[in-house]
Structure 1
Amino acid sequence: MNKLNISIIGVPTDYGQTRRGVDMGPSAIRYAGVVERLEAIGHDVHDKGDIRVSQKQEGTIVDKQLLNLEEVIDVSTSLANNVNEALEQKEFPLVFGGDHSIAIGTLAGLGEHYKNLGVIWFDAHADLNTPETTPSGNIHGMPLAVSIGLGHERLVQIRNYAPKIKPENVIIIGARSVDPGERELIRQQGIKVYSMHEIDRLGMTRVIEDALAYLRERNVDGLHLSLDLDGLDPLYTPGVGTPVPGGITYRESHLAMEMIQESGMLTSAEFVEVNPILDEKNRTADVAVALMGSLFGETLV
């Protein structure tokens, strides 16, 4: 295992959706002992604290297809700048959400540093909605679409370039709640998806082997993991805003993290959607930290 210079960036925002509490996710993850765990593995960990998240701007025009647009743009821009700075300092960006809209900012900060970035999207949802297809208006259902260049122009153009990633370099793992517009976009854009059907049929070992082989064949020059805790079955992660039964097991998730670590391909990661208000004794944050242990090389012997 290579010793990493890890830069932790917290993003205490819930503007991407309408259930309060996920803004406390970064604090819950820290309380679960993430810094101590990563340091025990042997990494240098620099907790940069949380980015500043402004209070909601009252009196702004509300677009029901893009809820809290101005606030999400502000948060995404600030996060993108912080991630860019971490990479310029040769640090490994490890981002804690907050809701999954923060991936807009994470990928905007990463994209300038990689010509062919690969992305593993570990999630129950595809997050490929646009203002035209969204059933809710929640931007946390749009970050992957925005990052491949589809959606509101101001979101797409954060840090003044687009797209941030190529759709054919994206692999979604654990999907089991996909909207009709997202299904069509997956077909149009050639996005690779391993739904729970494939995981059940093939097994997680085969899924991760195939995913990593696919990204190697595409000659990716970096690998970002975007892990939504609702990718796991809510039996293990009750503290998420949009739980979907029938998800990935605790052990399967650890296996996936271990195999990604062993590949030596990982260059950045984010963990999102931990909501302490909905949780049971910080169980979901504890799972997030345990998965980070496996992702960053923790072993039993």
Structure 2
Amino acid sequence: MVRLRVIASPYHDGLAEFDRGRGPTRLLQAASHELAAESIVTVPAVDTSLPEAARVFELARHLSHCVRSALDEGLFPLVLAGDCNSSLGTAAGCGTDGLGVVWLDAHPDFDTPDQSHSGSLDAMGLAVLTGRCWSNLRQKTLGLEPIDDASVLHVSARDFESGQREELHRSGIHVLEGNTFTDAELRAELDHLGNRVRRMYLHIDLDCLDPSEGIANQYSADGGLSCARLQGIIENVFGRFDVSAAAVTAYNPDSDVDGRMASTATRVLATIAACVNG
């Protein structure tokens, strides 16, 4: 049986006003019984005097060491993180040679600094991961080699700013938007990935779920996945690939006013744990 290590990355970039630590902490509290983790590790905070982007990459460096350590010990790293830039540290810890990505998110996370309308670094995670921006920090701080577009499947994107949808579809990334795709289309895309890679990083931003399942964060958008469908996707990915790591990100307890998303996320985490140990 593969044992599970939960890695909590509860800092956005080391500053209190950006701290999203309550999300991973709350999910750990809600799902501790279902996860039955061998161990829980918290990623250390970074130097708050660093510039914002440097803090993001330094935090990713700390996370990468935690992920690598888990893998070296024969443990499966399950990352609970405040935002999607955690993907950089998780992928670096796994090593990107032969690594594919299934990325579930309501948003593309594919901005570059030149294209960004919001200025949000969190909206650039997948662009960095595929080598489109922040190359110096990506290489020097993380030693992170880009993942090829064709090895990435983006699922549930539906909330686009001007130009974002077109940019995502112009890339070589495969895209299944919203919740409009069929099970046959999903299988075909996973087959495509299976012809390219055997190892997989599974990235789940909880706003891939429809708000009817609960409100994950302030960016939640209609037209997302049901929890049952997300659980099916998780099972499909684990059934087809050697999943090196998984991450569940972007839970904001302030948005989850009725607690439904904490309950939904617990079912998602339980599904991952069952796949790891199944």
Instruction: Check whether TM > 0.5.
Output: yes
- Say whether residues 1:192 and 2:170 are aligned partners: no
Of residues 78, 85, 90 in structure 2, which corresponds to 1:106?
90
Q: Write out aligned runs for 1:219-230 (5 A).
A: 220-230=197-207
Alpha-carbon deviations, 1:54-85, whole Å to 9, x = none?
4643xx66xxxxxx212212211111111122
Q: Write out aligned runs for 1:53-64 (5 A).
A: 53-54=45-46, 56-57=48-49
- Say whether residues 1:15 and 2:13 are aligned partners: yes
Q: Write out aligned runs for 1:207-226 (5 A).
A: 207-218=185-196, 220-226=197-203
Shift of 1:290: 0.4
Partner amino acid, structure 2, of 1:254:
Q
Q: Which residue pairs with 1:90 in the alignment?
A: 74
Cα distance in 1, alignment partners of residues 72 and 23 from structure 2: 26
Cα distance change of structure 1 residues 19 and 99 upon mapping to structure 2, 3 Å threshold: farther
Aligned-partner SS, 1:6: strand
Shift of 1:46: 2.5
Cα distance change of structure 1 residues 76 and 247 upon mapping to structure 2, 3 Å threshold: same
Shift of 1:234: 1.7
Alpha-carbon deviations, 1:173-225, whole Å to 9, x = none?
001023445445434431100002xx42x43x22431222111111x131111
Alpha-carbon deviations, 1:112-137, whole Å to 9, x = none?
xx521111001101111111111111
Cα distance change of structure 1 residues 237 and 16 upon mapping to structure 2, 3 Å threshold: farther
- Percent same amino acid at aligned positions? 27
Cα distance in 1, alignment partners of residues 216 and 119 from structure 2: 22
With normalisation by structure 1, the TM-score equals 0.82
Shift of 1:238: 1.0
Partner amino acid, structure 1, of 2:247:
E
- Say whether residues 1:263 and 2:246 are aligned partners: no
Q: Write out aligned runs for 1:127-206 (5 A).
A: 127-157=109-139, 158-163=141-146, 165-196=147-178, 199-200=179-180, 202-203=181-182, 205-206=183-184
With normalisation by structure 2, the TM-score equals 0.89
Gaps spanning 5+ residues in structure 1: where?
40-44, 62-67
Q: Which residue pairs with 1:42 in the alignment?
A: none
Measured on the aligned residues, the alpha-carbon RMSD in Å equals 2.4
User: Aligned pairs, how many?
Assistant: 274
Gaps spanning 5+ residues in structure 2: where?
none
Q: Which residue pairs with 2:265 in the alignment?
A: 288
Cα distance change of structure 1 residues 241 and 103 upon mapping to structure 2, 3 Å threshold: farther
Aligned-partner SS, 1:277: coil
Q: Write out aligned runs for 1:238-249 (5 A).
A: 238-249=215-226
Of residues 53, 59, 63 in structure 2, which corresponds to 1:79?
63
Q: Which residue pairs with 1:297 in the alignment?
A: 274
**Preserved CA contact (<8 Å) 1:94 1:269:** yes
Cα distance in 1, alignment partners of residues 256 and 47 from structure 2: 24
